[in-house]
Structure 1
Amino acid sequence: MVQQGSAEATELAQQREVAAGNELEHFIPFRKRAVITMCAEELPEQERESFREFATILASVLHHRFHARIEAIKDAYHVLDPPPDLKRIAEPAWQDRVRAQQALEEELVELAERANFTRVTEEELKRAFDEESLIKVRLEVDREDIDTAMFFRRGSFERERKVKSWMGLRRRTIAFRSYAKVIVYVTFRDPEHFADRDADDLPFTPGSTMVKLFENVPRHDIEMLFPNVRVGMRPIDKMMIGVPALISGIIVVVTKLIASLGVLLLLIAFWLGIRDEAVELDQATLVTIGAGLAAFGGYLVRQFNKFKNRKIQFMKALSENLYFRNLDNEIGVFHHLLDIAEEAEVKEAVLAYHFLRLAPGPITAEELDQRIEDWFAQRWNTRFDFEVRDGLRKLRELDLIDEHDGRVSALELDDAKRRLDERWDKVFDYNTVG
């Protein structure tokens, strides 16, 4: 028993190493309020409230910038896919739809980057199709029906699950990677592409755009998020249906159909002129033929129902996985993404300002990056790739830093708050009176 447990532990450790990978994400796995609190607690008691005030007005300024973006996104989405309870004042022209589609895709890519999402590559998608799914179904996607497909992921973490093996006689623990959040953006080809197919049989509308947000998606199962995914049969599933069907079919033929089969062959031979002697069809012969055909027909119906029920089970498993992982859809995804991106911007700006202010003098961007990453690794046991350029960009735009010869320093806290307050006062400057 000790040796068996040791072997399983070794196997699990190896799976963890394979699953973990070496990639560090830009995502900071703490809430905005938590980051502000973590930084404030590093300061002397008399500075903490002032620092929190700085973070509050900084967040307000950045929030106003994102508010303008969501209005632009809502305008573009209304052109492409208006909600059923809102009317258009005019039907958009084809050129308007093209511009709206392009604007939506550009916003999605930029917001995903600002929110520290990573674009899923074709190699990752191919690997997901090639590797065995955790939900034990074979998934198929017709990529020819899709015009544009973009996947973005964020928050990779390790999970464990007990799975059955050896026909359910043994259970073992496997380790795998899951993505905390996955965004799916898909546009389907125009109706002309589906001219030879019945539109009612399609699970989507030709020419439509679909945007969805999922959570806790296993890396091996990311292909199940395609909106036109179909359930197929794995070789083992075909064997589980085919082998029993073959055995029971042989039994039916031998026990029920063979007597009828002989009479039927003689009848066919007589009708084709191969046999000269006529076959006498008395009541007993007709009963034998009828019983044999009924038994064989019943066998075919049972096998078809088994196949259909098996496929229904697979579709149910897929639907349940998607249902419990779905977070948001369509325009709601952009609202969700904007909130995440805004929070990421605030966290990066607050951290960059805080560590510049604590530095003994002007430092380089590389030194700032290292200080922040080391602090999280040592103080909070968390590793990620801090977006130092992005953090400095926001502070530069808000005029909160001084730069000389490639070295950066932060304004004093009171000066930084005053500049942010002046910028906030000018957000709506409609007073034209001299």
Structure 2
Amino acid sequence: MPAERFIPFRKQDVIQMCQQVHSIFLAQNALHSTEADSNFLTFAKLLVSRIHYQYHEQLEQLKDSYALFEPNTDTRRLTSVSRDNKKSAQQTFSKRFASLLNAANFERVTDDDLAEALNEESLFKVRLEVSFDDFENVVFYRRGESMKTETLRYFFGLRKKDITFTHYDRVAVFITFKDEDYFNNIKQKPVTFTPGSTIIKLFQNVPKADLEMLFPNSEVRMRPLDKLIIGASAAVGGTVVLVTKLGASLVLMASFLAFYFGLKDESVELTKQSLITFGIGMGVFGSFIFKEWTKFKNRKIRFMKALSDNLYFKNLDNNAGVFHTLIDAAEEEDCKEALLAYTFLLQHGNEGLTADALDTQIEKWFKHTHSCELDFDIPDAMEKLIAMKLVTQQHERYVALPLNEAVKELDDYWDNIYQPV
């Protein structure tokens, strides 16, 4: 399984890691001092604040583009929104949302992966059916892919089986439904969603085989095994009812029909007692059918409860809350990447490092020091550090600004962020 860009440590932990790396470097070069440690923490604080400000602007842009079609809004609009304006806003938001997910180090779930997931058997033994015709746009993103093993129980817990499956730590879902005209044409009135709306959801701890349960229009269907169990039970019970309860009624009905169609010359006398017997038999048969239908419905209800219970503990956020959460995640990733890249470049002074050498050094450090394999996003880190003038590029090598100068550069940014017109 390929390594991921996601750095599985908190931002504060990474700041502490970088401070330790910097302290070790200073000690090795007989440069260690309390002031140097203080300067590094100041640098980290200013860097985090600057990235936070940039993401605040991005959050406001997302809120503006999402406001025109947000399903959970509790505010009023100054003007009405046309269908064209709504479509345009949805397209703009879709691009910004994809960019945000990329910044948060999410990977898009490919169509092949999604098709494979839908064909696999669910881990919690519920078969779901999804109507893809209801969607105009469907995109899944995931982060934190790993292989896990779980023990499943069969035959009332008497048999156990270990299965290995692909597991996603986080899954983001972006779905746009078709407009109302489509549902009017197929004569269907949606109950759980609004035609033309866009929903965004964030889930945790999702097995790849269970991705279909994240669709908003998924419906529970009986598995072949469940149909066989219910069918066998109904067949056995039906045979018993026919033999023990309906024997006399069936003989009476057969005799009457044979006389009616001329297959029998002897007339059938319908006495009060025979009619009562026939009525009781039909009542028993009707109650049997109702009982079997109720068993079927109850089994389906249990499956739906299993689905809702599963989703209850997997759902992290919905709609506008999702991109608020993702903004925080993307900000954390950018801060960690920028801090790590600057810290390791700083050790090489004016000589600097190439992007490949820096990338390799950071990845090896994580593997040897923290037993963590990852694919460090070096292009993104370099782009941000150069934009903030904390790193310069000299041909193929990158050179970090000295720590004191980097602190001054970040401080000057805040001093001049708002200039009078």
In structure 2, the partner of 1:320 is 309
Amino acid at match of 2:352: P
Contact kept? 2:22, 2:343, Cα under 8 Å:
no
In structure 2, the partner of 1:421 is 411
Which stretch of structure 1 is more off in the superposition, 260-269 or 328-337?
260-269
Which stretch of structure 1 is more off in the superposition, 288-297 or 223-232?
288-297
Is 1:302 equivalent to 2:291 in the alignment? yes
1:357-403 Cα shifts (integer Å, max 9, x gaps): 11262211000000000000000000010000110000111111122
Residues 43-82 of structure 1 aligned to structure 2 (within 5 Å): 43-44=22-23, 45-46=32-33, 47-81=36-70
Number of residues paired by the alignment?
Answer: 410
Deviation at 1:263, TM superposition (A): 1.1
Is 1:370 equivalent to 2:349 in the alignment? no
CA distance in 1 between counterparts of 2:215 and 2:190 reads 17
In structure 2, the partner of 1:203 is 192
Give the percent of matched residue pairs that are identical in Structure 1 and Structure 2: 43
CA distance in 2 between counterparts of 1:395 and 1:96 reads 37
Deviation at 1:278, TM superposition (A): 2.4
1:169-192 Cα shifts (integer Å, max 9, x gaps): 122343333211110111111111
CA distance in 1 between counterparts of 2:255 and 2:417 reads 96
CA distance in 2 between counterparts of 1:112 and 1:416 reads 29
In structure 2, the partner of 1:17 is none
In structure 1, the partner of 2:249 is 260
Contact kept? 1:77, 1:104, Cα under 8 Å:
yes
CA distance in 2 between counterparts of 1:241 and 1:108 reads 46
Deviation at 1:158, TM superposition (A): 4.0
CA distance in 1 between counterparts of 2:127 and 2:417 reads 54
Where 1:79 maps in the other structure, the secondary structure is: coil
Deviation at 1:196, TM superposition (A): 4.5
Is 1:387 equivalent to 2:377 in the alignment? yes
Which stretch of structure 1 is more off in the superposition, 332-341 or 58-67?
58-67
Deviation at 1:276, TM superposition (A): 4.0
1:235-264 Cα shifts (integer Å, max 9, x gaps): 111111111111111111111122211211
Deviation at 1:198, TM superposition (A): 5.6
Deviation at 1:41, TM superposition (A): 1.0
Which stretch of structure 1 is more off in the superposition, 118-127 or 285-294?
285-294
Q: 1:279 is matched with which residue: 246, 264, 268?
A: 268
Amino acid at match of 1:386: F
1:426/1:95 Cα in 2 relative to 1: closer, same or farther (>3 Å)? farther
In structure 2, the partner of 1:194 is 183
Is 1:183 equivalent to 2:172 in the alignment? yes
Is 1:291 equivalent to 2:270 in the alignment? no
Q: 2:154 is matched with which residue: 140, 154, 165?
A: 165
Residues 84-103 of structure 1 aligned to structure 2 (within 5 Å): 84-103=73-92
Contact kept? 1:400, 1:411, Cα under 8 Å:
yes
Where 1:28 maps in the other structure, the secondary structure is: coil
Amino acid at match of 1:383: E
Where 1:41 maps in the other structure, the secondary structure is: helix
Where 1:156 maps in the other structure, the secondary structure is: strand
Contact kept? 2:65, 2:90, Cα under 8 Å:
yes
1:118-160 Cα shifts (integer Å, max 9, x gaps): 1011111111111111110101100011110011001123444
Contact kept? 1:41, 1:48, Cα under 8 Å:
no
Contact kept? 2:71, 2:197, Cα under 8 Å:
no
1:340-364 Cα shifts (integer Å, max 9, x gaps): 0011111111111011111262211
Deviation at 1:215, TM superposition (A): 0.6
In structure 2, the partner of 1:7 is none
Where 2:238 maps in the other structure, the secondary structure is: helix
Which stretch of structure 1 is more off in the superposition, 291-300 or 82-91?
82-91
In structure 1, the partner of 2:129 is 140
Is 1:407 equivalent to 2:407 in the alignment? no
Q: 2:331 is matched with which residue: 342, 351, 375?
A: 342
Amino acid at match of 2:340: L
Where 1:80 maps in the other structure, the secondary structure is: coil
In structure 2, the partner of 1:23 is 2
Q: TM-score, normalised by structure 2?
A: 0.94
Is 1:153 equivalent to 2:132 in the alignment? no
Which stretch of structure 1 is more off in the superposition, 368-377 or 158-167?
158-167
CA distance in 2 between counterparts of 1:410 and 1:268 reads 99
Residues 221-240 of structure 1 aligned to structure 2 (within 5 Å): 221-240=210-229
Amino acid at match of 1:39: C
CA distance in 1 between counterparts of 2:66 and 2:395 reads 45
Which stretch of structure 1 is more off in the superposition, 32-41 or 419-428?
419-428
Q: TM-score, normalised by structure 1?
A: 0.91
Deviation at 1:273, TM superposition (A): 4.2
In structure 1, the partner of 2:108 is 119
CA distance in 2 between counterparts of 1:66 and 1:160 reads 38
CA distance in 2 between counterparts of 1:285 and 1:90 reads 75
Which stretch of structure 1 is more off in the superposition, 382-391 or 420-429?
420-429
